[in-house]
Amino acid sequence: MKKYNILILLLPFIFSCNIGNGRVGKSLDPAIAGKIDSIIAQMTIEEKIGQMSQFTVDIVGKGGNAFFSDEPFEIDPVMLDTVIGKYKVGSILNASNTRAQTTEMWEYIISTIQKRAIEETGIPIIYGIDAIHGATYTAGATFFPQEIGMAATFNREMVKEGAHITAYETRASNTPWVFSPTMDIGRDARWSRQWESYGEDSYLNAEMGVAAVRGYQGDNKNNVHNSNLAACIKHFMGYGVPVSGKDRTPAVISEIELREKHFEPFRAAIVEGGALSLMVNSGIINGVSTHADYRLMTEWVKEDLNFDGVIVTDWADVQNLYSRDYTTEDYKGAVKAAINAGIDMVMEPYNLAFCTTLLELVEEGEVSQARIDDAVRRVLRLKYRLGLFEKPYWSRSEYPDFGSTEHEDLAKYAADESITLLKNEGDVLPISANSRILVAGPNANSMRTLNGGWSYSWQGEKTEEFAEQYNTILEAMQNKFGASNVLYEPGVTYNMEGQYYEENEPEIEKAVRAASGVDYIVLCIGENSYCETPGNLDELTLSPNQTNLALALQKTGKPVVLVLNEGRPRLIERIEPGAAAIVQTYLPGNFGGDALADILSGDINPSGKLPYTYPKYEQGLITYDHKPGQNIEGKMEGAYDYGAQTSVQFPFGYGLSYTTFSYSNISIDNTSFTADDIIKVSVDVTNTGEVGGKESVLLFSSDLVASLSPDVRRLRGFEKVSLRPGEVQTVTFDIKGEDLAFVNEKGKWTLEEGEFMLQLGDQTANIVCTQTKVWETANK
């Protein structure tokens, strides 16, 4: 067993930081590249393959099998010697039993593994974890709203700061690599990971994704600070639009949509954000298993974007090429296909035979030495960038702000800005002080439902154990309005020991009787926590029990405030008409109850806006950027009527406030433009109400005529402003002419001569492109 020259490995780092044109730390210092080449030259093929391997921590834990470990967790030195000593494994991931650990336990686990790795080869392992809305697997960590809620803030800086706090607290857990952010655009309301996305729009996902990556990694990707870490953007790509609506199932996506919408957030996160790693889609796109797609991984990412980071598989997805997709005859063929397509690290996560299988393929010439060296170089580069050769583990005491009041204050502020008011009939909200309130529904008294999946465990089912110091909606309402003024009768409850959709026998009449003496009913409905495939559904409509509860309470004549606490938009068409108010909380995190109580009382003015189109009918799923032919008003003349109309419950970008805003004086500096021009657009926004509030100003464009049927409109910019009553603020956007291009039928970005309409609120103005341009390269 070879132990590399520690003098080589521990030389001081001198990194370059090229920050220009929005790109973060573009190139690695040649001296570091030389060190990596020197290490690779000394490595055996077995050691190289080890660097390309990633296994779950349970495989080195005591407990009798690789799938579960004893509690409290303890490392098995025999298995550690097998994994590190025999197979030279370069990466470990996950939390034992998918259960949150203390920072002290994380320090023990990772320092023990790192010491063994350094002893064996001198090369540190890199530990990876899912940190989705905070340090998921660390007890006491700060939890933010899930990505869908962060998107609803339309606040880039909020996303960046939230990611930085998550990075800091994950580093406090001795982990330098997170599998986040999720860059899949959530364009299908049925999908069980809708809440992990930044919504349905490509531009919104790109902007928030870049902000998150910069928050995670800092400003220099080549010398990541010890309060930052490496981001892993996922799941490349098209994962969020499976034909069936079910997780990890095939997608059919046109080449135009693939390039123009699904690829763009990943491109931006790499080119503008500097993302250091990328995880691959678990499914199939247009018949090709993504984990074996050379074109997408090697050509689109590594070659076209000059990406020098690591491409890692998702959980057990190399095995899936063989056992699920039937694209290879055996496991060996699956490993060959994935590595040759461009995979650099395989998240196996249990099968140590991966190492010997890849070794056989190299010895047989089925996988080239050059491909192995390229993958290992990328892995070592990532470890150098994170400073792991200098400092492979550290003390939790170096992170005194872990779980601090300052961190929690920002999480509360994020929840405040994410919650979205969808209906407020007769200004029933805010609720006046001293009102008597019935709080009902299955989501009323649960920290689990406020947080959703990836909260202290994979499915979120352990949340109550770890989050009891925070307030449920019920507890927050009692604190805000007084315990004597707030009654609780759920009417419907979840079976917390069963599947996420299972409910106990309803007791609707109890809730109806409890409503007799109150002024308001706050009905908290939606979903229990779930994640990935276990969250699949067959019916998007809200459960029958919850629907019946809502209808029964509406019949009491008391104003019903529907509080939606859900990962995806469950259909509420039957109960929306009888609701006096509707508030969407998404999955707001540990401070969601407090934020909601502040909004219902009027202490906080809601400012969230929907990052997706809220559907009205199961057969009416549509996105805001649809084609004109998908929503034709009126009837065609003649024998056949081919008109098509799609009704939605609430549109993309919709959200009310306790005040009102008006838009005026739209102005454009130049109404004629080419691809190379910058178009300056401004509008005056006035708070015309009686209370202060925040408004997300959204800029849309519409290509009025194009050679391919254009989207009806596209989001091109957004800014959030805070205005006092009567205050006017001019909001200005700079749009590149090239940003109005589309991808043509040949897969080329194209900007055509013709007229475009720009829209800000109810203000519109037209501009004209005077020169057609077709880009010959894959990217603009």
Which positions are annotated as active-site residues?
314
Find out whether 251 and 242 touch, Cβ atoms under 8 Å: yes
Helix (H, G, I), strand (E, B) or coil at 511: helix
Give phi and psi for 623, each to the nearest 5: -110, 160
Strand 288-289 versus strand 284-285 pairing type = antiparallel
- CA 372: distance to chain centroid? 31
Whether omega for the bond prior to residue 506 falls within 30 degrees of 0, making it cis, is no
Report the distance separating Cα 429 and Cα 602, nearest Å. 8
Residue in 212, 205, 156, 152 with CA at minimum distance from that of residue 564:
152
Helix (H, G, I), strand (E, B) or coil at 520: strand
Strand 678-687 versus strand 661-668 pairing type = antiparallel
How many residues are listed for the chain in this entry?
780
Report the distance separating Cα 136 and Cα 130, nearest Å. 7
* Per-residue tokens: 541: 């409509």
Report the distance separating Cα 455 and Cα 467, nearest Å. 10
Find out whether 531 and 454 touch, Cβ atoms under 8 Å: yes
Report the distance separating Cα 171 and Cα 466, nearest Å. 20
* Per-residue tokens: 780: 């603009």
Residue in 263, 204, 20 with CA at minimum distance from that of residue 749:
263
Find out whether 553 and 214 touch, Cβ atoms under 8 Å: no
Report the distance separating Cα 664 and Cα 637, nearest Å. 38
- CA 125: distance to chain centroid? 26
Q: What string of H, E and C letters represents the secondary structure of 443-467?
A: CCCCHHHHHCCCCCECCCCCHHHHC
Find out whether 701 and 762 touch, Cβ atoms under 8 Å: no
* Per-residue tokens: 225: 């600070």
Residue whose pair of structure tokens reads 């800092």 in the numeric block = 218
Report the distance separating Cα 224 and Cα 176, nearest Å. 10
Residue in 127, 39, 125, 113 with CA at minimum distance from that of residue 73:
113
- DSSP letter at 184 equals -
Cα Rg for the chain, rounded, in angstroms? 27
Give the Å distances, CA to CA, from 530 to 283, 355, 614.
Answer: 19, 33, 20
